[in-house]
Structure 1
Amino acid sequence: MSDAVLFDTRDDGIAIITLNRPEKRNCLTKDVREGLYAAWERFETDPTLRVAVLTGSGDKAFCAGGDLGEMVQTAMRVPPRDLIPVPYDNVELTKPTIAAINGVAFAGGWLIAQSCDLAVASTTATFAVTEVKVGRSSPWAAPLIHMIPQRIMMEILLTGTPITAQRAYEIGLVNRISEPATLLDTALELAREILAGAPLSVRAARETVMLATEMGRSAALQAARHASEHCYNSDDAQEGPRAFAERRAPEWSAR
């Protein structure tokens, strides 16, 4: 890994991915983008890792967005499809991710926070889709309609006005709020709650949520049943009830 993006692992199966350009407010420069691509691939391909936490260095910015200087230099028009690594979009991931937002999450910073499955925000974090302020567009914001109400989404995109962490929590954009000093601990606590579940059940649950956002009711039910068959037929599906009956902690094998 380059020093633009740090990759740390915990013995309990958690990866911590840190954008490490605080002097540039962790904006999505070329080295940060390349580092993120490498980090997500490492996370996905390591069978010992089950949950990733994405955060930023410093206390001012999670990620301030794209590198505007690069856009000027390259006279960028429509961004290349693979410009920014986006989990579950142009980056294939099958495991849960948590954004730990420690400061500004603007434009592309909002994008990568939005793309994670869950989000924890510092009380000092702020969020904005600022593209209207610089003459750009934000097609990547389309999935927000499954996260927040339409009129609130409309206001955020049309005005580019930042919202606070508290407001982000109120509208359902983030799951939990924490004081800055305990932000990472809060994200890790949430990750460990996920880790307590059976791995195949967690995977099936995540697929169910994503299917439900992309399909109509009947189609989503049918697809979710199919996605859950591997879980139902696993050894863990027998171990869970057995452990409960025997009043002990289950021992998951992910088989």
Structure 2
Amino acid sequence: MTDAVLFEARADGIAIIKLNRPDQRNALGKDIRDGLFAAWDRFERDPSLRVAILTGSGEKAFCAGGDLKEMVERGLQVPPRDMFPVPGDNIEVSKPTIAAVNGVAFAGGWMIAQACDLCVASTAARFAITEVKVGRSSPWAAPLIHMIPQRIMMEIILTGKPITAQRAYEIGLVNRVAEPEELMAKALELAGEILDGAPLSVKAGRDTVMLATEMGRAAALQAARAASESTYRSEDAQEGPRAFAEKRTPDWKSR
């Protein structure tokens, strides 16, 4: 890892990935892009890590988006698909991820927050898809239709105007809102609630949500049943009910 993106692997199974260019509002310059590709790969490959939290350094910005100066210097037209690290698009991440949005999440900043499974936002956070303001486009926003209503999505994209963390919570983009000094505690609390669940059940549940966003009702039901079969047949599926009956904490084996 480089100092542009910091990676903390905690003993409790939580990885904290932090964009670390606060003087540049954590914009997605090459150093941060490379660091994010490496960080997501490290998280995915480490079996001891079960949940990742993505956040930004500083008090002003989670991520202000792409580096516009770099775009001008490169004469960038259509961004290559492998330019920006986006879980669910050009990066395989099979474990739960949480965006802890500490400040502005504009354009590419919204993109990488949207790509996480869950989102906790500081009351100081602001979200915007600002591409219309600089003559660019936002094809990455297409999956947003599974998160918020169509007309709200349309207004956000067509106007480029920011929305507050509270508004983002009201429309379903954000799961929880916290005061700035409590943001990471709230994100860690959410991660801890995920860790309390049986690992194989968490994986099957996440797979079910992902399948449901890609398929029609009948196909999603069939695919989710198939994705859940190994969980039902696991040792943990017997341990959970046994622990409940014995009034003790389950001892998950992930098998």
For this structure pair, what is the TM-score category when the shorter chain's length is used for normalisation?
Answer: over 0.9
Residue 177 of structure 1 pairs with residue 177 of structure 2: yes
Cα deviation, residue 28, structure 1 = 0.2
- Identity over aligned pairs, percent: 76
Give CA-to-partner distance per residue, 1:202-236, whole Å, 9 cap, x none: 00000000110110000000000000011011000
Distance 1:88 1:11 in 2: 26
Matched residue SS, 1:47: coil
In structure 2, the partner of 1:119 is 119
Deviation at 1:129, TM superposition (A): 0.1
> Structure 1: how far apart are the matches of 2:135 and 2:201?
44
Aligned to 1:156: 156
Deviation at 1:11, TM superposition (A): 1.0
Shift of 1:95: 0.2
Paired residues, what number? 255
Cα offset, 1:149, TM superposition: 0.4
Deviation at 1:10? Answer: 1.3
Which residue pairs with 1:137 in the alignment? 137
Residue in structure 2 matched with residue 203 of structure 1 by the alignment: 203
Instruction: Flag structure 2 segments of 5+ consecutive residues without an equivalent.
Output: none
Aligned-partner Cα distance in 2 for 1:155–1:85: 26
- Letter matched to residue 91 of structure 1: I
1:28 is matched with which residue?
28
Structure 1 residue 78, shift from structure 2 partner: 0.5
Aligned to 1:86: 86
Residue matched to 1:53 = 53
Give the Cα separation in 2 of the matches to 1:87 and 1:13: 19
Partner of 2:66: 66
1:87-107 CA deviation, whole Å, 9 max, x = no partner?
121110110000000000000
Aligned counterparts of 1:190 and 1:122: Cα–Cα separation in 2:
14
Give the Å deviation of 1:73: 0.5
> Which residue number corresponds to residue 3 of structure 1?
3
What do you get for the CA RMSD once the two structures are aligned? 0.4
Alignment-mate amino acid for residue 108 of structure 1: G
Q: Partners of 1:132 and 1:233 in 2: how far apart?
A: 50
In structure 2, what is the Cα distance between the partners aligned to 1:191 and 1:10? Answer: 12
Query: Secondary structure of 1:16's partner?
Result: strand
Instruction: Report the CA distance between 1:9 and its aligned residue.
Output: 1.6
In structure 1, the residue matched to 2:233 is: 233
Report the residue type matching 1:64 in the other structure: A
Deviations 1:121-165 (A, max 9, x none): 000000000000000000000001000000000000000000000
Q: Distance in 2 between matches of 1:49 and 1:88?
A: 18
- Which structure 1 segments of 5+ residues have no match? none
Q: Which amino acid aligns with 1:195?
A: L
The structure 1 segments of at least 4 consecutive aligned residues displaced by more than 2 Å after TM superposition are none
Give distance in 2, aligned partners of 1:74 and 1:12.
42
Instruction: State the partner residue of 1:16.
Output: 16
> Structure 2: how far apart are the matches of 1:101 and 1:38?
20
Distance 1:94 1:229 in 2: 17
TM-score (norm 1): 1.00
**Residue type of the partner of 1:222?**
Q
TM-score, length basis structure 2: 1.00
